[in-house]
Structure 1
């Protein structure tokens, strides 16, 4: 399906939720642990990335989606955009020898990488703003404040629970200090009750599980990415 049609379907979901997109940054972290191999090879992950990009194109002013993958490690893949999205997963992930693949599952490393990317001194956005603000010792803090004014939507797609529970919960708690929301989307039939329970107690996190992605309706998947809980949260950021 073309990106134009996917964006139109995203607009339908947004209308059903009753929200107007607030300018935001959008990050995608997608599981590349061993149990996800079939989803990658079957093209399901490519389809998910396309729909995440459609969401980003309604929220991000640059219409870009920052993409990470993770197993028990993590890797920043780069930016997905409308004119380069075709075969993105095959080209930028599966054929990328620098991306670690098919390991265990840990959530904290990738969430910490995302935080550093947007809020840390080494982060891309922070680095650009730091140059504008001048002095080295003040650049990081000024950049953090400026970037922190814009909401951050993190979409984390996983098919299994993690091995780093304490560090994960600590990392997620740190995100409360930011205007950041983490939407966890569980896929498949694994028991994700722990992740669901953590998301339930966090004011800036939500959880939804999709048992079957093969043949899933686009609006159902987009509705999971733009959940009712996220819709309420983003409305408060306007």
Structure 2
């Protein structure tokens, strides 16, 4: 078994049991039962995100990602990168401390800034490489808008395509907004012209992400991951 096991979740985080089970159903549906993967969460801390922290949307996403991670990794911990103009914090959320954890971290952070994707991406790359992990990584990257440097974000994504990390971007906000046109473009960058494999996906969770059903959220988070795994294994990026 790749994850921590249902018994451990029941003991350490009973509030996540339903999320853990729902994530497991989605993993099996996508042919990922028994798959090992490190899971990261990147969350936007720019000024326009204020209401999503206040209404619990970011905490809800963190809990759902932790429920998914508990199926894929056996440490019960998700590294969380908070970013705005710079990287604001790198913290862990774990089965033992998930309740109210986002609010607790944010209470120690400073002013909310702008949106620099590439700095958060660089932080994830460093963390993954420094960890010495041999499993692939699924990076859930949440934002409510486009980056201040599109060129830098695209360059980092294309460079990262040679590493065993898949970037699943999640948009919070109005589905009619053009703020997410760049992420749709990233999702469709040509292979192999721009990157060696398709290492990113994007889906829009809407203006109230908490209303997206758990099963749908997990299906969207995992929708492109199996295809990336197959392509990355074929290129020798992911081993095993």
Return the TM-score normalized by structure 1: 0.82
Q: Could you tell me how far 1:214 is from its partner in structure 2?
A: 3.8
Name the SS of the counterpart of 2:209 in structure 1: coil
Cross-structure match for 1:219: 215
Cross-structure match for 1:118: 128
Q: Distance in 2 between matches of 1:80 and 1:186?
A: 21
Alignment partner of 1:210 out of 205, 215, 228: 205
Query: Is the 8 Å Cα contact of residues 28 and 65 (structure 1) preserved in structure 2?
Result: yes
Report whether the alignment pairs 1:81 with 2:94: yes
Query: Is the 8 Å Cα contact of residues 33 and 102 (structure 1) preserved in structure 2?
Result: yes
Report whether the alignment pairs 1:194 with 2:165: no
Query: Is the 8 Å Cα contact of residues 75 and 110 (structure 1) preserved in structure 2?
Result: no
Q: Distance in 1 between matches of 2:69 and 2:56?
A: 20
Alignment partner of 1:102 out of 112, 115, 118: 112
Structure 1: runs of 5 or more not aligned: 127-146
Alignment partner of 1:16 out of 29, 40, 63: 29
Cross-structure match for 1:232: 227
Query: Is the 8 Å Cα contact of residues 184 and 208 (structure 1) preserved in structure 2?
Result: yes
Structure 2: runs of 5 or more not aligned: 1-13, 190-194
Q: Could you tell me how far 1:208 is from its partner in structure 2?
A: 0.8
Aligned-pair Cα RMSD in Å: 1.8
Q: Could you tell me how far 1:163 is from its partner in structure 2?
A: 0.9
Q: Distance in 2 between matches of 1:105 and 1:230?
A: 25
Q: Deviations over 1:182-230 (max 9, x none)?
A: 001112113201111112215111111111314221112222222x211
Name the SS of the counterpart of 2:167 in structure 1: strand
Q: Distance in 2 between matches of 1:150 and 1:101?
A: 35
Q: Could you tell me how far 1:61 is from its partner in structure 2?
A: 2.3
Cross-structure match for 1:138: none
Q: Deviations over 1:60-105 (max 9, x none)?
A: 121211111111211333221111100011112x211xx3442111
Q: Distance in 1 between matches of 2:117 and 2:111?
A: 14
Query: Is the 8 Å Cα contact of residues 150 and 182 (structure 2) preserved in structure 1?
Result: no
The 3 A distance-change label for structure 1 pair 168 and 22 is: same
Cross-structure match for 2:5: none
Report whether the alignment pairs 1:162 with 2:143: no
The 3 A distance-change label for structure 1 pair 10 and 214 is: closer
Report whether the alignment pairs 1:3 with 2:13: no
Name the SS of the counterpart of 1:22 in structure 2: coil
Cross-structure match for 2:157: 172
Return the TM-score normalized by structure 2: 0.81
